[in-house]
Amino acid sequence: MGEMLSVGFNVVGFNWMSSPAATELETIVMDWLGKMLNLPKPFLFSGGGGGVLQGTTCEAILCTVTAARDKVLNKIGRDRIGDLVVYCSDQTHCALKKAAQIAGIHPDNIRALRTRRSDAFGLCTETLRSALADDVSEGLVPLYLCATVGTTSSTAVDPLRGSEHDIWVHVDAAYAGSACICPEFRHFIDGVEGANSFSFNAHKWFFTTLDCCCLWVKEPQHLVNALSTNPEYLRNKATESKKVVDFKDWQIALSRRFRSLKLWMVLRSYGAANLRNFIRSHVNMAELFEELVTKDERFEVVVPRNFAMVCFRLLPPRRPLRQGLRIGDCNRDHQEVARRGDRDRQGVRDPRGGGRSLPDPIRGRRLAHRSATSGRRGWWCRSKPRLCWRSSTYIP
Ligand SMILES: Cc1ncc(COP(=O)(O)O)c(C=O)c1O
């Protein structure tokens, strides 16, 4: 309904003057939502910061990287752009890489720090500290850290506390941020008070239609400095009074949709209590599912569940599948192997139909490829009836 109204009204509220209602509603809704998340006061309009609705997290990250870049370059000189370094983990969404590319960060200066299963794929503070120290000792300038709460692959959570460096910290909680409206999940963003910006996608898990990314910043002035333009045809008294918010200066584009209307509809029609209960019910379902999967010895839960996503996988069978299969180190792709097993039992079919077997060269090529990727020659061999599955430790 909110989406339909917003599209129907076709408000193009690039600045306060063009649509005071859209602008005011956005500031109100962002403060409501910030309070639901228990964001520290400096992120709210009522605390000197503020929130803005972007289309996507990619845009939110690009805007904040740009704000951080200009904040630093204004201090150290524009010609040092080649020295700026951005940090993230190897689990961070590619949104950061894209933002860094667009913002002119040297490709060699994007540090995707290695995570480990023992840290549940969260960023290791020690690894970060040493990367920062190395860069500083080489005369580089740490610019931006993207910490993720709920990574795309496994919903890992990066620690938000503590970098001694003067670096812009952005918290990307695209998926998991919604859960933090529940007091029992709020601890996942503990430490956000030390960050410069925070974003989550209401269009992921907050019952709002795409596109709707909520971004809060502590010091909107840095966004405005980096993103504002004031041509003659946009001049107006409201802007000049400096008492209004012109959201065009907080985003990439000039024109903008009336997104706050749909978020307002979600908040008003469900209410905070119902929204929390929806989230809880999803997490409960995931918890139950995780329990069932854990009890079933055919599966393995790969990383601990944090929210409503369960990462699990099918384990290789412990008994021989069939005669005629030799599998040494094939922990990876056991499904593929099982599938091949089925296909093999049926004979390899010609995709063109007709029930004919594929000619050997095609089969040969496929198997050669598999051998190359498994690093072992001939682990698939029909003619030698040997079979050995090794219990799996491989993480895709
Ligand atoms: C953690 C995380 N960050 C960023 C994104 C990108 O979001 P968007 O498509 O809104 O740019 C995603 C999308 O799945 C995500 O999971």
| Nearest ligand 1 atom to alpha carbon 152 | 16
Mutation test residue for ligand 1: of 93, 200, 203, 204, the one with most atoms within 8 Å of CB: 93
Q: Label each residue of the chain as H, E or C.
A: CHHHHHHHHCCCCCCCCCCHHHHHHHHHHHHHHHHHCCCCHHHCHHHCCEEEEECCHHHHHHHHHHHHHHHHHHHHCHHHHHHEEEEEECCCCCHHHHHHHHCCCCHHHEEEECCCHHHCCCCCHHHHHHHHHHHHHCCCEEEEEEEEECCCCCCCECCCCCCCCCCEEEEECCCHHHHHHCHHHHHHHCCHHHCCEEEEEHHHHCCCCCCCEEEEECCHHHHHHHHCCCCHHHCCHHHHHCCCCCHHHHCCCCCCCCHHHHHHHHHHHHHHHHHHHHHHHHHHHHHHHHHHHHHCCCEEECCCCCCCCCCEEECCCCCCCCCCCCCCCCCCCHHHHHHHHHHHHHCCECCCCCCCECCHHHHHHHHHHHHHHHCCCCCCCCCCCCCCCCCCCCCC
Residue type, 258: F
Is 58 a pocket residue for ligand 1 (Cβ < 6 Å)? yes
Instruction: Enter the tokens of residue 170.
Output: 């952005």
Query: Comparing 41-55, 159-173, 203-217, 239-253, which segment has the lowest mean pLDDT?
Result: 159-173
What are the pLDDT digits (tens) for 90-109?
999 999 999 999 999 999 99
What are the pLDDT digits (tens) for 139-155?
999 999 999 999 999 99
Indicate which residue's Cα is closest to atom 7 of ligand 1.
57
State how far the Cα of 378 lies from the Cα of 367, in Å rounded to an integer.
8
Cα 90 to chain centroid, rounded: 12
Q: Does this model's pTM top 0.85?
A: no
Predicted confidence band of residue 312 (pLDDT cuts 50, 70, 90)? very high
Centre of ligand 1 to C-alpha 204, Å, is 9
Is 15 a pocket residue for ligand 1 (Cβ < 6 Å)? no
Q: What is the pLDDT of residue 367?
A: 35
Query: Is a pLDDT exceeding 50 seen at residue 361?
Result: no
41, HSE (Cβ side, Cα atoms, 13 Å): 3
State how far the Cα of 144 lies from the Cα of 131, in Å rounded to an integer.
13
Is 152 a pocket residue for ligand 1 (Cβ < 6 Å)? yes
Centre of ligand 1 to C-alpha 200, Å, is 9
What value does the mean pLDDT of the chain take? 84
| Nearest ligand 1 atom to alpha carbon 59 | 11
**What length is written for the chain?**
396
Query: Is a pLDDT exceeding 90 seen at residue 272?
Result: yes
Predicted confidence band of residue 163 (pLDDT cuts 50, 70, 90)? low
Centre of ligand 1 to C-alpha 175, Å, is 7
CB neighbourhood size of 356 (10 A): 11
| Nearest ligand 1 atom to alpha carbon 201 | 10
Cα 210 to chain centroid, rounded: 15
State how far the Cα of 344 lies from the Cα of 327, in Å rounded to an integer.
14
Query: Is a pLDDT exceeding 80 seen at residue 318?
Result: no
Indicate which residue's Cα is closest to atom 10 of ligand 1.
56
Q: What is the pLDDT of residue 366?
A: 36
Query: Comparing 42-51, 91-100, 288-297, 338-347, which segment has the lowest mean pLDDT?
Result: 338-347
Q: What is the pLDDT of residue 246?
A: 97
Q: What is the mean pLDDT of residues 281-303?
A: 95
State how far the Cα of 72 lies from the Cα of 167, in Å rounded to an integer.
9
Predicted confidence band of residue 393 (pLDDT cuts 50, 70, 90)? very low
Is 226 a pocket residue for ligand 1 (Cβ < 6 Å)? no
What percent of the chain stands above pLDDT 70?
A: 80
CB within 8 A of 26, min separation 6: which ones? 51, 52, 53, 247, 259, 260
Query: Is a pLDDT exceeding 90 seen at residue 165?
Result: no
Query: Comparing 34-43, 180-189, 346-355, which segment has the lowest mean pLDDT?
Result: 346-355
Instruction: Enter the tokens of residue 122.
Output: 């969260």
State how far the Cα of 199 lies from the Cα of 52, in Å rounded to an integer.
10
Query: Is a pLDDT exceeding 90 seen at residue 335?
Result: no
Q: What is the pLDDT of residue 207?
A: 94
Is 167 a pocket residue for ligand 1 (Cβ < 6 Å)? no
Per the listing, tokens 């698939």 go with: 380
Cis amide prior to 70 (ω within 30 degrees): no
Q: What is the pLDDT of residue 132?
A: 95
Instruction: Enter the tokens of residue 382.
Output: 């029909």
Predicted confidence band of residue 322 (pLDDT cuts 50, 70, 90)? low
Is 176 a pocket residue for ligand 1 (Cβ < 6 Å)? no
Angle (nearest 5°) at CA 214 between 114 and 36? 100
| Nearest ligand 1 atom to alpha carbon 211 | 10
State how far the Cα of 246 lies from the Cα of 15, in Å rounded to an integer.
4
> Would you say 47 and 279 are in contact if contact means Cβ atoms under 8 Å apart?
no
In this predicted model, which residue has the larger pLDDT, 357 or 100? 100
| Nearest ligand 1 atom to alpha carbon 175 | 16
| Nearest ligand 1 atom to alpha carbon 150 | 1
